[in-house]
Structure 1
Amino acid sequence: MASVKDRRVESPATDTDLGRGVFEFSDRYSVFDWGEMPDHVPGKGASLCTMGAYTFEQLAAAGVPTHYQGVRTPDGETVRLADAPEAPTQMVIDLTQVPTLPFEDGSYDYDRYHDAGGSNYLVPLEVVFRNAVPVGSSLRTRCAPADVGIDADEWPQGPVELPETIVEFSTKYEEQDRYLSRSMADEIAGDADIAELDALARRVNETITDCAADAGFVHDDGKLECVYVDGEVRVADVAGTFDENRFRFDGREVSKEAVRQFYKRSAPEWVGAVKDAKRAADERGVADWKSLCEPSPDPLPPEILQAAADLYAAGANRYTAREWFDAPPLGDALDAFE
């Protein structure tokens, strides 16, 4: 079980052929790499599936290759989003091979990963594209403003636009995400070409940015995963949602970052313990950092849980220009987080 969605295999991928599967989106959520949190956000799965399907269909119209096939209706049909009778929770996709990434003697063995994946595999990277540096961005802890072309000695308190889009690469299947140099990312990517991954990310970013602007959003950053199939890279997983991307509306955060920031304000001891556990795991050369974290997160207060549900639902309505969900105006949902 993944932290927010499950994958059901209908026909498995092989060394030579893609398979077919279904993403089943749940109402689970995850922050700070914790995995499943102690409560669920009502309707979140349908919101993510709807936004993701909309984005994939916009990418297809722009000529971007993806693994998306359609959404699954309650009676089992696979259709385009516009033909779905209600907000979907299941997305039909092409499946590729996803080998196990071995961890031995304090390091991950990517050679064995690629030996198992052959020429049909999920690239074990997250490709991150950034148009701005919002509050909560890891770029603020890894770089000085001048390193990314911003004329400032310190990071401003609010979001700051980048002079040009940045594309970065981080690990996907390690217990802790780590950002990589371009040469290291190239090595981890296997046969997939880093320049092609970079170019694909920029095309995806342009499409999502246009969709966001049409909805009255500002698109700050996002991430994607890719499959490598017979010499071509294609967009995989899901893209253009409030879990994969950060948007702003009237200057306020519209993504799961709103929940992250709430936990930073309301549960600093737990957030600090997570950071300490990750650091200790690095120092000890172990993968399972959660076993080193004694405290666990508390559920969200009822009013914040409802605000999160309203954020996902109202935001999905705006992004897709269709009233899939009965939700208050997006601004009202955002007010609760303040």
Structure 2
Amino acid sequence: MTSVKDFRVEEEATATDLGRGRFVFSDRYSVFDWGEMPDHIPGKGASLCLMGAYNFELLDVNHVPTHYRGVVGEDGEVKDLGECESPPTEMAIDLTQVPDLPHEDGEYDYEAYHKVAGDNYLIPLEIVFRNTVPVGSSLRKRGEPADYGLDFDEWPDEPIDLPEPVVEFSTKYEEQDRYLDREEADSVAGAVDLDRLEELALAVNHILTEQAAEAGFSHEDGKIECLYHDGTVKVADVVGTFDENRFSYDGQQVSKEVVRQYYKRVQPEWVEAVSDAKQEAIETGEPNWREKCEIEPEHLPEEIVEALSDIYRAGTNAYVGYDWFDAPDIEDAVERVQDL
């Protein structure tokens, strides 16, 4: 189980062959790497499953290899999204091996990971792509505007569109994600060519950005995860949802960023405690930073939960161009969260 979806194995992957399994999407959510938060958001799981399936099928049309096999209908059969009569909550996928990543004396042993992985494994990287640089983006700490083709002496106090998408690599299985330079990312990737991962990320970004624009959204950033099997790299996990990526509509965030900003404004002491615990973990080499966090996140008010439910369901309807959910128009849902 992850913080937002459950994982079912139907056929184990082997050293040579892919297995089969399912993602079961829940209404749980997570922010700031906390894990399961105190509330559930009705309709969120079905929204993410549907939007993810739609994007996987869009990638397939554009000849991007993925681990997607279909969604699970009400009859329990695996099928294309268009064959469903109601929003699915389960997605069928190919499985690869995910070896343990040993951690000792503050260091992660990727050599041990790849020794077990062989030629069939989940690449322990997140490949991040960015089309914009919002205020507060960690990118601003890792470089100057000129490093990214921007004609500014210093970072402006407003979001900035990038002239070309930027691709970065971060860790996936470490207790705290950290960005890597290309040399270290190449080592973490194992047998996979880093240029191939960047090429895939840019292709996915292009496809999602075009789809978003057609639906009236701005696609700001996101990520992919990939598996490697017998010389082929496939896009894995889930792609282009309001949890994996950052979208906006008419200048308003339509993503998990809405609830992140809510907690920053309403419970800043918890957000600060999380940040402090993470920093202490970095300094001490102790991976379990949550145990050091002395403040718990508060429950969301009922009206906030309802507004978030509306934005997930209305946003998915608008993005895929079909009213799968009984939800307000995207304009009404966006207006409601603007007041949060």
Distance (whole Å) between structure 1 residues aligned to residue 141 and residue 335 of structure 2: 28
1:136 and 1:257 in contact (8 A); partners too: no
Distance 2:92 2:22 in 1: 5
- 1:87 is displaced (CA, Å) by 0.5
Residue 95 (structure 2) pairs with residue 95 (structure 1): yes
Distance 1:45 1:137 in 2: 27
Paired with 2:257 and 2:136, the residues of 1 have a C-alpha distance of 7
| C-alpha deviation, 1:139, in angstroms | 1.5
TM-score, reference length from structure 1? 0.98
User: Are the equivalent residues in 2 in contact too, given 1:59–1:204 (CA < 8 A)?
Assistant: yes
Unpaired runs of 5+ residues, structure 1, are none
1:136 Cα offset (Å)? 4.5
State the aligned residue count: 338
Inter-partner Cα distance in structure 2 for 1:143 and 1:273: 26
Number of the residue aligned with 1:212: 212
Q: Once the 2 structures are TM-superposed, how far is the Cα of residue 333 of structure 1 from its aligned partner?
A: 2.2
Please name the residue that 2:181 is paired with.
181
For 1:66-81, list aligned pairs within 5 A: 66-81=66-81
> Equivalent pairs: percent with the same residue?
62
Q: Which residue does the alignment assign to 2:144? A: 144
Aligned-partner Cα distance in 2 for 1:142–1:242: 25
| Map of 1:265 onto structure 2 | 265
Q: Is the 8 A contact 2:249 2:334 kept in 1?
A: no
Report 1:1-338 matches (<5 A).
1-337=1-337, 338=339
Check the 8 A contact 1:303/1:336 in 2, yes or no.
no
In the aligned structure 2, how far is the partner of 1:326 from the partner of 1:308?
14
Equivalent position SS for 2:168? strand
Instruction: Report Cα offsets for 1:282-330 as digits up to 9, x if no partner.
Output: 1111111101110010111111111111110000001111101011122
Deviation (angstroms), 1:103? 0.7
- CA distances 1:210-269 after superposition (whole Å, capped 9, x unpaired): 110111111111101000011111100000100111111111111101111111111110
Length-normalised TM-score, structure 2? 0.97
Letter in 1 for 2:22: V
Which 5+ residue runs of structure 2 have no aligned equivalent? none
Contact 1:223 1:245 (C-alpha < 8 Å) held by counterparts: yes
What RMSD, in angstroms, separates the aligned Cα atoms of the two structures?
Answer: 1.1
CA separation of 1:325 and 1:290: change in aligned 2, threshold 3 A: same
**Further displaced range: 61-70 or 153-162:** 153-162
Q: 1:170 to 1:234 in 2, by over 3 A?
A: same
Which amino acid in structure 2 is aligned with residue 89 of structure 1? T
